[in-house]
């Protein structure tokens, strides 16, 4: 038997991986966004402009990675803004009271972890849905933040500002922190026994529980780790703006969720790539930069981000009925010929 060889070349290496990846579209979206910036607002696409947007990208990437960890356990964390505000105000309050920057940062991050533990216990022990639990705790954390600050901005010392706004190799420190975070998470999730159990419990909690895996511990760990990453974001924001503020985390909730959905995360949870999540954060950062370069207001920016979020949620639901229709309707048979 003769075998017909296809003349079409088979993709190899990175190209083959990109084509096969379910997250390839986030790379396409980021590339298209950059091309649009290059054509419509060339000044916003220069190397200098891209370097200037790295602080916001780094902070959004860290927050998005925290959200991604929770998504792996079938949830979204809507207390992100509250934890960011709380940790930013804690570090500002402590340093304003005379504490050294390093201990103040440690206490602020511990507050983020503790907030995450509260979320994890609400979801696992009280069996609340992640939406209800984290929305309720968000109000709780914002209330604590108000008690800490009396509703006022609290300035932070110059040393913490200098660190947060510094650059290494011409690139913002927050970018390098985000890079370090994603590398640590990749090692933790892919190369450790904890990571394998973590993925298994998120993929099928009932089967994991039947197999004796610690599902409750995985949930609490996910929200605790997310709280730590939100705390890092809060400290970086406070350092970049020079103060702890109750308005600091307002835009990060929508931006982080939009970044995950653009990156291909399922609304029902579990399916997400950490690298794709970072690229999704890059897309959202470039989108914000593009809108600002056009001279649009913050209200327009929020409107466009809302449309992006709506579109990424609605798109799978638009495609799904068509797929079901194709499966449900077999091809129509040809005309039947009957004998005379």
**pLDDT one digit per residue (tens) for the chain, 340 residues:** 454 444 445 555 555 545 556 677 889 889 999 999 999 988 888 888 889 899 999 999 999 999 999 999 988 999 999 999 999 999 999 999 889 999 999 999 999 999 999 999 999 999 899 999 999 999 999 999 998 888 788 998 888 889 999 999 889 999 999 999 999 999 999 999 999 999 989 888 888 888 888 889 999 999 999 999 999 999 999 999 998 888 887 789 989 998 998 887 765 555 688 999 999 999 999 998 888 888 877 778 778 878 877 877 776 666 555 555 555 545 545 444 444 4
Per the domain annotation, does 333 fall within a domain?
A: no
Per the domain annotation, does 305 fall within a domain?
A: yes
Q: Would you say 254 and 312 are in contact if contact means Cβ atoms under 8 Å apart?
A: no
Per the domain annotation, does 16 fall within a domain?
A: no
Per the domain annotation, does 84 fall within a domain?
A: yes
Backbone phi, psi, residue 151, to 5°: 80, 10
Per the domain annotation, does 165 fall within a domain?
A: yes
247 exposure class (CB count in 10 Å sphere: 0-12, 13-18, 19+): exposed
Residue-by-residue DSSP string for 123-172: HHTS---HHHHHHHHHHHHHHHHHHHHTTS-EE--HHHHHHHH-EETTEE
Per the domain annotation, does 35 fall within a domain?
A: yes
What are 168's strand-pairing partners?
171
pLDDT score of 135: 95
Per the domain annotation, does 337 fall within a domain?
A: no
127 exposure class (CB count in 10 Å sphere: 0-12, 13-18, 19+): exposed
Per the domain annotation, does 326 fall within a domain?
A: no
Q: Would you say 70 and 123 are in contact if contact means Cβ atoms under 8 Å apart?
A: no
Domain that includes residue 105, residue range: 26-312
pLDDT score of 322: 52
Query: Residue 202 CA to chain centroid, in angstroms?
Result: 17
Quote the DSSP letter at residue 74.
T
Q: Would you say 77 and 136 are in contact if contact means Cβ atoms under 8 Å apart?
A: no
Number of domains in the chain: 1
Domain of 73, CATH number, reads: 1.10.3470
9: Cβ contacts below 8 Å, ≥ 6 apart: none
337 exposure class (CB count in 10 Å sphere: 0-12, 13-18, 19+): exposed
């Amino acid at each position: 038997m003769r075998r017909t060889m296809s003349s079409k070349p088979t993709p190899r290496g990175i190209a083959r991986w990109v084509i096969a990846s379910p997250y390839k579209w986030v790379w396409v979206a980021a590339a298209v966004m950059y091309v649009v910036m290059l054509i419509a607002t060339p000044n916003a696409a220069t190397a200098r402009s891209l370097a200037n947007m790295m602080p916001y990208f780094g902070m959004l990437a860290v927050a998005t990675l925290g959200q991604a960890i929770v998504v792996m356990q079938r949830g979204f964390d809507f207390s992100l803004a509250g934890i960011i505000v709380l940790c930013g105000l804690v570090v500002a309050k402590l340093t304003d009271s005379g504490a050294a920057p390093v201990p103040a940062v440690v206490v602020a991050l511990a507050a983020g972890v503790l907030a995450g533990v509260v979320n994890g216990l609400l979801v696992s022990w009280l069996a609340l849905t992640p939406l209800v639990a984290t929305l309720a705790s968000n109000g709780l954390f914002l209330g604590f933040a108000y008690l800490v600050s009396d509703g006022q901005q609290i300035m932070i010392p110059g040393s913490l500002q200098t660190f947060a706004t510094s650059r290494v190799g011409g690139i913002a420190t927050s970018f390098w922190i985000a890079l370090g975070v994603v590398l640590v998470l990749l090692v933790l999730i892919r190369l450790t026994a904890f990571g394998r159990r973590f993925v298994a419990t998120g993929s099928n909690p009932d089967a994991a529980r039947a197999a004796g895996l610690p599902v409750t511990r995985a949930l609490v760990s996910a929200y605790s780790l997310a709280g730590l990453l939100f705390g890092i974001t809060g400290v970086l924001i406070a350092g970049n703006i020079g103060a702890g503020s109750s308005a600091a985390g307002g835009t990060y909730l929508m931006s982080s969720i939009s970044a995950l959905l653009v990156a291909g995360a399922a609304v029902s949870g579990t399916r997400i790539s950490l690298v794709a999540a970072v690229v999704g954060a890059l897309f959202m950062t470039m989108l914000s930069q593009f809108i600002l370069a056009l001279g649009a207001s913050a209200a327009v920016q929020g409107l466009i981000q809302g449309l992006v979020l709506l579109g990424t949620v609605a798109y799978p639901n638009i495609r799904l009925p068509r797929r079901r229709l194709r499966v449900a309707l077999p091809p129509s048979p040809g005309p039947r010929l009957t004998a005379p």
